[in-house]
A and B are shown apart, each in its own frame.
Chain A
């Protein structure tokens, strides 16, 4: 669905929910995931609706993913070799009704 404007650069592997994805080193992580056809980044914890990046500039927090057990804005992070990214799990200790 999304196409890179400038596909040059060092090809690397990253992981989304344990699935290997090809990215370009240093590119915007949210863009890399979108380019790999990941469109469901997380589910809204209240409405449970699927969510994906919206603003691509750090303002809307729709692009949150989990990295090293923490929620991070994918659009504010660069893709690096072997980066492990996952969909956000519910915050630990908080029951999900």
Chain B
């Protein structure tokens, strides 16, 4: 006997979905590859971020806002269940702009988006003098910021840990240090084979293997047109409070370090760091917060994003193997709440399931 759901990939996406399915009373088995895998969930920036999402696709802006709105209750529930602090702060965030041109362009884009959403999209433009009131430590040598009141950040490693703990407590089976190499349909669902030849069965299957879905997706009839995109990040020594709110390039984490990032590089499956890119990130950070010039970085790392051609998530049930779901996205922290609370309803065919058509794979048909 297998379990109701096999979840291939125990990153933040797989664990969020698993958590949601367990809450609906399903049983799940999660398969994860282990330390050699590329894992965006361990190297991300920790933003719960609405700004910049769906600039050309309002449905994605809406979906991100939905998730941001669910985050508070979701985080509270996880904190109470696990006794771990997630350090969620959702008090707004900034997109800093170094040049007037880039700020002007951004204002145009947000104005368009707001129109598309019937006026329901909050943002403000803060020039330096207004920004200074909110963030007294910013410099004077850049254009300003777009402020979005729904943006925020979280300790994403604690989130990862809390989810891993809670899904176990709720009875999920975790099979770790295995690579699922083959997935196929079987009489009553799916058959999975790992790298040692061991076979598992399940009624339904969620493919949330991050970059691993590139290989496994086509076996289940998915296009899975995803690619890696490298992001480099660094963190400073712990300092007293320098900034009140996060931005998409700079945030002070709850322990005091300032996280600076992240680059966006098309370099295939290469997750090395490069001094030139890190230096550029540091220079731009200092342009916004000049005090950072006196602060040391203590660590840097890089990780690979999981990108679709248009940057939107992919939620697709297989047309050839019904019961298999592909779930992948490049903002798995932001969307963790929606993945836990809403996606399982879609998988279970509930009438309260969210409208996910804009995120299906038929958008990639030419």
Contacts and interface: CB of A to CB of B under 8 A. Distances in A.
A94 B240 contact: yes
A46 B238 contact: yes
Contacts, number: 46
Interface of A: 44-46, 61, 64, 70-71, 90-97
A64 B239 contact: no
Interface of B: 136-137, 237-242, 254-256, 290-291, 294-296, 298
B237 A46 contact: no
11 contacts: A44-B238, A45-B240, A46-B238, A46-B241, A61-B238, A91-B240, A92-B291, A93-B137, A93-B294, A95-B137, A96-B241
B18 to A, nearest CB: 32
Contacts of A61: 237-238, 298
A5 B268 CA distance: 51
A71 B138 CA distance: 22
B240 A46 contact: yes
Nearest 7 pairs of A and B residues by beta carbon:
A46-B256, A96-B240, A93-B291, A45-B240, A94-B291, A91-B239, A61-B298
Given A45-B240, A45-B256, A94-B242, A71 B296 contact: yes
**Interface class of chain B by DSSP:** loop
Contacts of A45: 238-240, 256
Nearest to A97: B241
Contacts of B256: 44-46
Contacts of A93: 137, 290-291, 294
A92 B295 CA distance: 9
B99 to A, nearest CB: 25
B294 A92 contact: yes
Nearest to A90: B240
B318 to A, nearest CB: 45
Nearest to A51: B238
B85 to A, nearest CB: 13
B237 A95 contact: no
Given A46-B241, A61-B298, 16 more contacts: A45-B238, A45-B240, A46-B240, A46-B254, A64-B237, A90-B240, A91-B239, A91-B295, A93-B137, A93-B294, A94-B137, A94-B240, A94-B241, A95-B137, A97-B240, A97-B241
